[in-house]
Amino acid sequence: MKWLSLLTNEWIKIFSRTRTWIFLAIPIVIIIGIAVYDKVTTDVEVNENWKQELTQTVKDDQKALDDAKKNGDNAIYIDSLESAIKQNKYAIANDISPYETTAWQFMKDMAFISSLIGLFVIVVASDIVSNEFAKGTIKMLLIRPYSRWKILLSKFVATLGFAFVMWLVVIVATWLVGGLAYGFGGMDQSYLITADDGQVKERLIVEYVFANIGVEFIELTTLVAMSFMISTLFMSNSVAIGVAMFTLFAGNIIVTLLANKDWVIYTLFANMDLSVLIDGQNQLVKDLTLPFSISVLAVYTAIMLAITFTVFQKRDVKA
């Protein structure tokens, strides 16, 4: 019958909650706050004399590197110092200021906001099924002439829609705030990366920003599917929120602990942070590539959705 009306209903339910608007407002407030803070505190002198500044940094890093080598410190630490030194030298030689902020540079810097969005999406996704069980409203919904899978699908699509809309709103807001604060130019601006072979390379910031926007959609889809599954299995939003947040935030720690195991690349944790794979910087597990990780996430998402729909279809509703 009118499946789209089911979707409309879910959409209305999401946006009838004050919480939803707060979730939308928080990232925007943070972004504006950071831009304002940065504008107020940034020392224009330093920006103009960035080459001297950077030369000093290189010297300091070199000293730290020597010490670290003498003390036989952690290899990762030594690597990171070496690559920082190389990058800074390259920057000085090729006249690429790391301090020049534009709308795009700002968007790249603000990419961490996506974790916050992940968090809010987990809350909404966990709630949209389990809250209706907790409040008993689910039974008013399931006695309608719609198969259960249609009702669950409407909830899934609505949450996904919410996640995407939220992400897009934040992207546009970041671009606007960044543009107003630092100017809208900088499409051709580069940043530096250290490739696998140790060479320093230039990459376009815009490329990173758009790749990041894209992979975040994929991550959000997996997060929604996971929250959905847990909240359907346990009918509890707190369990769902807990497990999903654990996967999102504690995932890195677990991956670090298991980094030397071959099978770690097949775990969900290891593949949840796609943005590090865009330019291969700060990558925890070296063997991962973007296409591989996306495939793994797709498989996990499909399995989680299959479990969710099967369980939901058969569940006795005693709410």
Partner 1 sequence: MIGGIGERMTTHTLELKNLTKKIKGKTIVDDLSFSVREGEIFGLLGPNGAGKTTTIRMIVGLISITDGDVLINGDNLRGNFEKAMERVGAIVENPQLYDYMTGYKNLMQYARIMPDVTKERIDEVIELVDLKYAIHDKVKTYSLGMRQRLGVAQALLHRPNVLILDEPTNGLDPQGIYDLRNYLRLLANNGTSVIVSSHMLAEMQMMCDRVAIIQHGKLVRIDEILNQEDETEVKVHFQIEGDVAQAKQVLLNLNEDLNVTESGQELIVQTADVRFIAELNKQLVLAGVLVVGIQRKTKTLEERFLEMTKKGGDLNEVAVPVNK
Q: Does 33 bind partner 1 (CB under 8 A)?
A: no
Contact criterion met (CB below 8 Å) for 126 and 198: no
Q: Which of 145, 196, 197, 282 binds partner 1 (CB under 8 A)?
A: 145
Whole-Å CA distances, 155 to 9, 81, 148: 9, 48, 11
Residue 319 contacts partner 1 per CB under 8 A: yes
Q: According to the binding rule CB under 8 A, does residue 71 interact with partner 1?
A: no
User: Which residue in the set 5, 52, 62, 74 belongs to the binding site for partner 1 (CB under 8 A)?
Assistant: 5
CA proximity to 266, closest of 258, 277, 276: 258
- Cβ atoms 228, 122 nearer than 8 A: no
Q: Which two tokens stand for residue 155?
A: 């909830």
**Interface region with partner 1, contact rule CB under 8 A, candidates 8-16, 164-172, 266-274, 290-298:** 8-16
Residue among 6 and 235 whose Cβ is closer to partner 1: 6
Q: Is position 70 an interface residue for partner 1 (rule: CB under 8 A)?
A: no
Size of the site for partner 1 (CB under 8 A): 27
Binder of partner 1 out of 94, 147, 289, 295 (CB under 8 A): 147
For the segment 183-242, give every residue that binds partner 1 (CB under 8 A). Answer: none
Distance of closest approach, residue 135 Cβ to partner 1, in angstroms = 6
CA dist 245 and 239 (Å) reads 10
Q: How far is the CB of 21 from partner 1 (least distance, A)?
A: 12
Binding of residue 317 to partner 1 (CB under 8 A): yes
Which one, of 123, 125, 119, 137, lies nearest residue 228 by Cα? 125
3-state secondary structure of 33: helix
Contacting partner 1 (CB under 8 A), which of 106, 146, 162, 175? 146
Smallest separation (angstroms) from partner 1 to the CB of 143 = 4
Distances in whole angstroms, Cα of residue 27 to Cα of each of 36, 108, 112: 14, 15, 10
CB 145 to partner 1: min, Å: 4
| CA distances (Å), origin 173, targets 24, 118, 148, 169, 201 | 11, 17, 37, 6, 30
- How many beta carbons lie within 10 A of that of residue 167, not counting itself? 21
Q: How far is CA 75 from the centre of its chain?
A: 27
**Is there binding between residue 157 and partner 1 (CB under 8 A)?**
no
Phi, psi of 287 (to 5 degrees): -75, -15
Copy the structure tokens of residue 270: 């290891």
- Return d(Cα 172, Cα 182) in angstroms, integer: 15
Q: Which of 78, 116, 119, 142 binds partner 1 (CB under 8 A)?
A: 142
Q: Which of 71, 112, 197, 318 binds partner 1 (CB under 8 A)?
A: 318
What are 212's two structure tokens? 């990041």
Query: Which residue in the set 59, 69, 135, 261 belongs to the binding site for partner 1 (CB under 8 A)?
Result: 135
Token pair, residue 16, equals 């009838």
Contacts of 207 (CB under 8 A, 6+ apart): none
310 lines the binding site for partner 1 (CB under 8 A): no
Q: Is 137 in the site for partner 1 (CB under 8 A)?
A: yes
Residue 18 or 41 with smaller CB distance to partner 1: 18
- Report if residue 6 touches partner 1, rule: CB under 8 A: yes
Query: Which residues are near partner 1 by CB under 8 A?
Result: 1-2, 5-6, 8-9, 12-13, 16-18, 135-137, 139-140, 142-147, 314, 316-319
